[in-house]
Amino acid sequence: MKKEIIVNRSQEETRVAILENGKIVDLFNERRESEKIVGNIYKGTVKNILPGLSSAFLEVGLERSAYLSADDVVSECKDKKIEKMIKIGSEVLVQVDKEPISTKGARVTMDVSLPGRLLVYMPFNDHVGISKNIESRQERDRLKQIMNESKPPVGGFIVRTEAEEATDKEIKREIRYLTRLWESINARAQKMKSPALVHKDLGIVFQTVRDHFNEEVDLFMIDSKNEYGEVVDFVKIVSPELVDRIKPYTGKTPIFKAFNIEDEIRKLRSNRVNLHSGGYIIIQEAESLCAIDVNTGRYTGTRSQSQEETVTITNIEAAQEIARQIRLRNIGGILVIDFIDMKKAKNRQKVLEALTRSVKGDKAKIKIWPITRLGLVEMTRERKRESLFALLGETCPMCHGLGLVLSRETLFIQLSNELSQMRLTRHTGKVRVRLSPQVAQYFRERCSRLKQCAGQDIDIQAAPDVPWEDYQIIIE
């Protein structure tokens, strides 16, 4: 499988796309006015404690107060009630675990973790864990032995998948780097006054290098000369053997257009995704729930296939595409997928297995429940930042997020009733109606009916300043 990382850097935005066999599977955005804060470490002050919800709110210098759960408090107190572990007015060091979403503030934790390429350092935890993706028992034992010999007396580590087959020297070098980083953060925090940003996490480009740039990636291409040099310098430190795979983009065509990524991003704005078979899926996002509907569309299968086989083929293809779409769109929370009904349990299991296999490459935590008799699959996906749809768009001023506006017919009926009421109250004078240009023609074609309601001539005018669902009646 050919894997590529393409980076587009502009004054207002940085975009990173990960391609597999030329097909985009991951997309990351970082904008100048809405930089990501997950991973940042702040010194904050406890402003409010809610014992009933086992949580507290902290002032850390962000627009909204940060949310801290009792489970994320680090304390030597044996009583795990939050009001016993922290006090109002106390200063604490916290790390952002989840971006502010909609009206909710950032979620923070006192259990700080510092990720490197091979390891994650946890200063307040003595545990040493090995990634489940490292399956070889021999390799797990080797890594565990290295960690037991090299681990500092304070803090714990998680050995990441990237550490598989890493040398003893590489692992020890990263242990030293991460522990020194924590020492400098801790020293800085002692000198700073709350609220304050103590440590800023890596930007999106360097996070991608740290988390995704490995032996499986054939090409890392970036269209910024300055940042190209910075990336090369960074990789020389963390993965010197991969430096030759980093290339600057010098073409005249914008890099995302050259790799056909721009068209893919444009398609992500639609809630409909067409499948190669002729079927399609519909994706409807809410704040914490997403409904996905699978349809056969124009796919009817072949003559040799039964209806059950046709449906199963469509569902399996849909399962693979759904896994890709939720990853691309960064859809999190609760997801309910309505697959096309299948009568046979073995076919339902095939679809569930296809979905499970397809989400394996997703770094977000995912849990899938068994498929029901109705063909429904419930699943959850970890959400640490806003979805791509929320990032690229904002609530429509016409429909206010409903996805629908009042129909021309409904508006016509409302106006007709209002004109009839005016006639009963014996309003006199010339009547002029100002409407949105998109609906004015519909009213002109039915002007005679409006005349009957008003009992006099009506002047219909198209007015660009009038919203779709509004109209103005002017009596002269």
Please tell me the pTM assigned to this model.
0.72
Specify the pLDDT at position 301.
57
DSSP string, 421-469: HHHHTT--S-EEEEE-HHHHHHHHTTHHHHHHHHTS-EEEEE-TTS-TT
Q: Which residue, 67, 127, 69, is CA-closest to 101?
A: 67
Specify the pLDDT at position 43.
95
Specify the pLDDT at position 248.
95
Asked whether the beta carbons of 96 and 35 are under 8 A apart, the reply is no
Asked whether the beta carbons of 211 and 203 are under 8 A apart, the reply is no
367 - beta bridge partners? 380
Could you read off the pLDDT of 373-412 as tens digits, one per residue?
A: 777 999 999 876 777 777 777 777 777 777 788 899 999 9
Instruction: Determine the residue type at 75.
Output: S
**Sheet bearing 471-475, strands edge to edge:** 458-462, 431-435, 471-475
Q: Which residue, 317, 396, 287, 389, is CA-closest to 27?
A: 389
Asked whether the beta carbons of 189 and 43 are under 8 A apart, the reply is yes
Asked whether the beta carbons of 19 and 3 are under 8 A apart, the reply is yes
Could you read off the pLDDT of 213-222 as tens digits, one per residue?
A: 888 899 999 9
| Helix pair 437-444, 447-454: axis angle to 10 deg | 80
Q: Rounded to an integer, what distance in angstroms lies between the CA atom of residue 213 and that of residue 6? A: 11
Instruction: Determine the residue type at 78.
Output: K
142 in helix, strand or coil? Answer: helix
- Regions of the chain where pLDDT drops below 50: none
Which region, left, alpha or beta, applies to residue 165 given φ > 0 means left and ψ of -120 to 50 means alpha? left
Give the number of other CB atoms < 10 A from CB of residue 460. Answer: 21
Residue 312: both structure tokens together: 């199963």
β-pair type (246-248, 219-222): parallel
Residue 83: both structure tokens together: 């009001």
Buried b vs exposed e over 61-98: b needs ≥16 C-beta within 10 Å?
A: ebeebbbbebebbbeeeeeeebeebbeeeeebbbbbbb
- The phi, psi pair for 351, rounded to 5°, reads -65, -45
| Cα distances (Å, whole numbers) of residue 143 to 147, 160, 174 | 6, 10, 13
Asked whether the beta carbons of 100 and 63 are under 8 A apart, the reply is yes
Q: Rounded to an integer, what distance in angstroms lies between the CA atom of residue 60 and that of residue 62? A: 6
Asked whether the beta carbons of 186 and 158 are under 8 A apart, the reply is no
Q: Rounded to an integer, what distance in angstroms lies between the CA atom of residue 426 and that of residue 119? A: 81
Asked whether the beta carbons of 405 and 372 are under 8 A apart, the reply is no
With vertex at residue 76, the alpha carbon angle to CA 72 and CA 77, rounded to the nearest 5 degrees, is 90
Q: Rounded to an integer, what distance in angstroms lies between the CA atom of residue 463 and that of residue 439? A: 10
Buried b vs exposed e over 343-354: b needs ≥16 C-beta within 10 Å?
A: eeeebbebbbeb
| Upper half-sphere CA count for residue 27 (Cβ side, 13 Å) | 24
Could you read off the pLDDT of 8-61 as tens digits, one per residue?
A: 998 888 999 999 988 899 999 888 767 788 899 999 999 999 998 999 999 999
